[in-house]
Structure 1
Amino acid sequence: MAFALVRSTADGNNTPITLGFSYRDTGDIVVKVDGVTKTLTTHYTFPTSNTITFTAGNIPTNGQVVEVRRATNHSARLVDYVAGATLTETDLDTDSEQAFFMAQESLDTANDSITLNASDVYEGNSKRIINIADPTGAQDVATKAYTDSQVSSVATNASAAATSASAAATSATNSAASATSAASSATSASTDGAAQVTLATAQVALATTQATNAAASATAAAASAASVTGGGPALDGGGTGETSVIRTNKNQISGNVSLTVPTGSNGMSAGPITITSGSSVTVSSGATWHIVGT
């Protein structure tokens, strides 16, 4: 319960505020709007001794807090008793009212203060606390501005961490892509290498086949030569105007062979020569056959 205090929330209308308490002088009444002290006559007036209204242009807006408080002068006593002077009722009332009013005002101030409750804990009575310094100790009260700045700092750090994590994830993705590409290249290289090995194997097989065929051909040629040399003569060269050698085996032309010295060619053999039955040598017109050593 307030003794010399009226506190209300404005609604934008200039409704007269009823004081509901006594005062000695209008100068003892203090009017504040949202904590700002207003001036008598300039901002407000007393239409009656127990009400106040605001002047035009100074009416509190909706939601502003209006406080009307009595603040009796306590810097000096209002009554100074003098020995031998007449003691009047007015002097006694004035003296006691000053003390009484100041006591009431002190109680109002105490009721507005933070107090300990039954649990020995300070209560704010659902009121805001303003003009608080930033905390320095671990158990200091933190202001909204300080808390907001710390939350903002945490949010900034979290955002930076998220950005760093995203960059790391991107780097990891790129690394994975590079590894996949490298694996693909290795697989491709392995495939190409296998193909090259297969090709080389095929080429070796072909070369082997060709060598085998060449060897077979050489063997066949050797066999053929041996057959001709061993079983009968062979005619080397034989082109027109050339000298050909008619080779024999043990100075014999045998094996049922027929040799011809072409026209314009010269045949030559080491003698003596025996032509066995079934074999023959024909010297064409314009050709010669020389047998040396006969």
Structure 2
Amino acid sequence: MEHAALLEALDRCIVHTDDQPTLRGVFAELTQISTETNKDRHLAHGAIQPSFVLRRFVNGDLSGLFEDHSTVRFDDDAPIVVVDTSELFARGDLVAQLSQICTTAWNQAVISDRNAHKTRYVIREEGWRDMTSLASLQMYQQWLKLSRHYGISNIVILHKMGDLDAVGEADSQERNLAYSIAGDIENKFIFRINQQESASIQQRLSVPPAHADMARQLRKGEFLAYVGQYSYLVDAFATSTDWEYGLFKTDDAMELPYLGPVNCSTSSHPTSMLSGRRTPTWTAG
């Protein structure tokens, strides 16, 4: 009954808004349907529960985000489009999850348009956040399997493999699917890991033990690249040599001149402060 009431409210909102429905409009139609007991008592009863749910979006704790038309438009002609939802996590997990669902649907509508004849990179900076529900995981799996069909390259960035432990419960369908997706990604780039991650990447990504040990000793800018059936050790740090460091050096303002020992009367014990490559000593006064 709830499903039928929602469909009826959506159909009415489409008609009344010239095919531009919003959650606010659907909520208004549901409220109207719930009062029409003389027309269809079962439909009116089915509209009550959905109207209470949508009221949170219109007047409740979720208001101001999803109930009206978007205030921005997706610029399909832009070379780069960034959707930053990080600030919305301050509003709670539910807001964050709904934001991810909306942006995923938005991206899906764009990249599935084969008539655009464009190739795109779809980059997920916090990959695990897009895997909080079974529906989003299945959508991402579809993007991977149909990447050639859509003309896209999927890039997912994880700080560590353990990030995926935040997806679902242990041994749940969601978590298993998340690790399956990570394992199915053909090209993998692994930067320095800690001891705890060594066993995880061996188990989840089938990385040889010798490579896992090597990953623990990588320097800044170095990474292990697995491209197809080949593996490489890559140094991508632009300041590996002295002349490159001088070319890209941007920390001059942080390097204070060394003025010799300084007496500090506010300190009760000796400590030290690092200033660039020189370390002046703070002594108790």
Bucket of the pairwise TM-score, normalised by the shorter protein: under 0.3
Higher relative helix content: 2
Higher relative strand content: 1
**Rg bigger for which structure?**
1
Higher relative contact order (CA 8 A, sep 6+): 1
What TM-score does the superposition give when structure 2 sets the normalisation length? Answer: 0.19
